[in-house]
């Protein structure tokens, strides 16, 4: 995946659409973490102003730069005080899944919305290739695709991604302790996968399946 700077120079309008899609996807993702933590008894994120849909509260400077230059990035991590949770191990997994889960939910809702609009415009025939239809698809489809991408990327069981914490919460206590010991190697694994194109190879089959299931 090339950096967004390439798209910026080649097609500024398309860059703007993708940038908005990414910002919305990251914002929804991080808000869901904060909301889940709050509902499970920890108000740390809320007290720090993270229980909001304001993108400025969730964008990480380094993650944004990585997105521009490398083609993948991340939002500002939502702080969680696990001592405030009734069941820290299980609740941490739920909080971690809330981020990717919200991205999948948003992708599904937007897809259903587009399908409904299709049926309203031309019942039973789908979108015609008109200017209006192309504009709607051009604006909505990137948001759907990047929500799918962000959700799947964060499910990779590699620290500091959500998938690592989800696995920690699912494993029996003894195995989870051994699993957590792998955390320091996570960032090096991610760098290696990014440098070798491994992330794209890992996610491509799941992305194609999601696109097929949603009928995009």
What residues are annotated to the active site? 30
Q: Which two tokens stand for residue 1?
A: 């995946």
**Tokens coding 132:** 């209006």
**186-196 and 198-214 helices cross at what angle (nearest 10)?**
80
**Cis amide linkage into residue 124, ω under 30° from 0:** no
Element (H, E) at 143: helix 131-154
Instruction: Tell me the two tokens of residue 181.
Output: 């010991």
Question: The tokens of 158 are what?
Answer: 């590699």
Answer for the pair 18, 4: CB distance below 8 angstroms, yes or no: yes
């Amino acid at each position: 995946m090339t950096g967004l700077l390439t798209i910026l120079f080649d097609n500024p309008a398309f860059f703007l659409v993708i940038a908005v899609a990414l910002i919305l996807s990251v914002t929804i993702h991080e808000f869901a973490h904060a909301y889940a933590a709050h509902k499970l008894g920890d108000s740390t994120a809320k007290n720090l102003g993270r229980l909001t849909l304001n993108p400025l509260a969730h964008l990480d400077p380094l993650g944004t730069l990585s997105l521009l230059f490398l083609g993948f990035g991340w939002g500002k991590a939502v702080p969680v005080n696990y001592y405030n949770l009734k069941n820290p191990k299980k609740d941490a997994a739920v909080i971690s899944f809330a981020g990717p889960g919200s991205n999948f939910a948003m992708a599904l809702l937007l897809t259903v919305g587009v399908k409904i609009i299709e049926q309203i415009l031309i019942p039973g025939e789908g979108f015609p290739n008109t200017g209006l239809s192309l504009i709607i698809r051009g604006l909505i489809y990137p948001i759907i695709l990047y929500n799918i991408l962000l959700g799947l990327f964060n499910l990779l069981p590699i620290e500091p991604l959500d998938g690592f914490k989800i696995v920690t919460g699912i494993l029996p206590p003894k195995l989870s302790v051994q699993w957590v010991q792998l955390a320091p190697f996570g960032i090096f694994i991610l760098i290696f996968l990014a440098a070798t194109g491994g992330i794209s190879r890992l996610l491509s089959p799941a992305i194609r399946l999601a696109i097929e299931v949603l009928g995009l």
